[in-house]
A = this chain, B = another copy of it.
Amino acid sequence: MDIEEFRKAGYQAIDRICDYYASFQDRPVVSQVQPGYLVDALPSDPPEDAEDFNEIADDFQKLILPGITNWQHPNFFAYFPTAGSFEGILGDLYASSVSNPGFNWLSSPACTELEQVVMDWCAKLLGLGDHFLNKNGVGGGVIQTTASEAAIVVCAAARARYVREHPDAKLEDLVIYTTTQTHSLGVKAGLVLGLAVRALEVTPEDEFSLRGETLRLALAEDLAQGKRPFITIGTVGTTSSGAVDNLEEIGEVLKERPSIWLHVDAAWAGVAMACPEYRAFGKLEPINRYATSYGTNFHKWGLVNFDASMLWVRNRRDLTDALDVTPEFLRTKQHDSGLVIDYRNWHLGLGRRFRSLKVWFVLRRYGVEGFRTHIREGIALNEYLVSLIRASPSFELVTTPSLALSVFRLVLPASPALASGEDALTAHNELNRAFHRRVEGASDKIFLTQTVLNGTFCIRFAVGAQRTRREHIDQAWEVIRSNASTVTEEWVKSRISV
């Protein structure tokens, strides 16, 4: 493809992307295709001869778009939102035009330096302490691919630091602490690193927040058995219910044990700390006081296209001591002189994309105030949903709403009474699983996902897509309400007929 063909294909792509964003009202939220739809539609071999790009671009519309679940759809309330902003798309576009592997400063100085700068911008936006800034030369921030990879990085760094300090420690005795509510990133880090993971218990009474006393008891128990807990992963805003661990208490317990790394994962909720009024909720103060590392994903609620998982560490040498690879063929005079950051030693891969550009575009085009407005709108919309749930006798909140996330379920009808010996929770879960299956059937209109909280099956409702407005909450509520009526009626009927 020559330059003029690219110009034509590029304009066409831009126009079609505009059409796509203008047409959400005509698109299902969740792709309605069946497994195998595309495998069956495509030839099993690559073409021998070059094809015309118009045909390829048309196939994107015909074959790919129907297989896309539209995460930017205003009626998308599943999982957590995945940001997709025009600013982010433009950032990706410019970045891929200067494609480079970015493994050292010289690969493209702009990539390293812009990442240094925007990570400091993000730290300041969120109120992180100066010790997390790149500018201070001791701590610093780096963009990771995902929060799971960030967790692997910090677990590897924590393990390396622990083993340096305790040369007699056996890998078999090392333990990663999480809670039962920690995102799968905890389990995954354990699987990848081959280390034990202990999920500490949390309770509904504590709103699924890890307490210091639980941690203290686990430590005492494990240490007595010769185990070596070396990292605790705390969460601000769990995936299931937006729970926030009690980082003040955790920090106080770990203060006595400086060999244990404290990583705080705020993958979803962290960006809310852009708004000063949510910093107490988000535990900013104990994060700044106690956390060895802290991460949040701007690619979720933070307006930056996937992927942009931000990780800050108190001491960058913890990363480079664990991960530095500098063979001869990667040496540069700038690296040798210690003048520059070579980010390859701060993450798992060698190569890395130019991700800071889209962050820079977003932060500049929105400004701090615009970013805060976006966060506040999401929370206000969730508050509106909560008011609808609270006003309805058919529903109940399972946990206190967390920022832009609500977890709720259908109320168990008072009659007919349960059969004698029937477990109320089991029956209640059955009703709600039936409800969820029905709402899945309306996945062209809204997308909601489920979770289980200490045995209780519930529905999650996560707001935060950039285009969601009050009318979309109303539409969602109508789908939820009408399906709930049907399911409850059917449930009652089936029990009476039994």
Tell me which of A76-84, A210-218, A286-294 binds B: A76-84
B71 near A99 with CB under 8 A, answer yes
* A227: interface (CB < 8 Å): no
Given A68-B100, A99-B88, also A184-B325 (CB < 8 A): yes
* A416: interface (CB < 8 Å): no
Interface residues of A in 218-263 (CB under 8 A from B): 239-240
A67 near B113 with CB under 8 A, answer yes
* A424: interface (CB < 8 Å): no
Mask, A110-130, CB within 8 Å of B = 1, is: 110110110011101100000
A39 near B92 with CB under 8 A, answer no
Interface residue tally of chain A, by bracket?
35 or more
* A5: interface (CB < 8 Å): yes
Whole-angstrom distance between the alpha carbons of A124 and B44 in the complex? 9
A368: chain B residues at CB < 8 Å are 46-49
For residue A60, which residue of chain B has the nearest CB? B94
Whole-angstrom distance between the alpha carbons of A368 and B46 in the complex? 7
In-complex Cβ contact of A370 among B4, B50, B79 (8 A): B50
Tell me which of A16-24, A379-387, A486-494 binds B: A16-24
For residue A35, which residue of chain B has the nearest CB? B339
* A204: interface (CB < 8 Å): no
A-to-B contact residues, CB < 8 Å: 1, 3-7, 9-11, 13-15, 17-18, 20-22, 30-31, 33, 35-39, 42, 44-51, 53, 55-57, 60, 63-72, 79, 82-90, 92-94, 96-101, 105-111, 113-114, 116-117, 120-122, 124-125, 135, 145-149, 152, 156, 159-160, 163, 170-172, 183-185, 187-188, 191-194, 239-240, 299, 305-307, 322-331, 333-334, 339-340, 348-351, 353, 357, 360-361, 363-370, 440, 449-452, 460
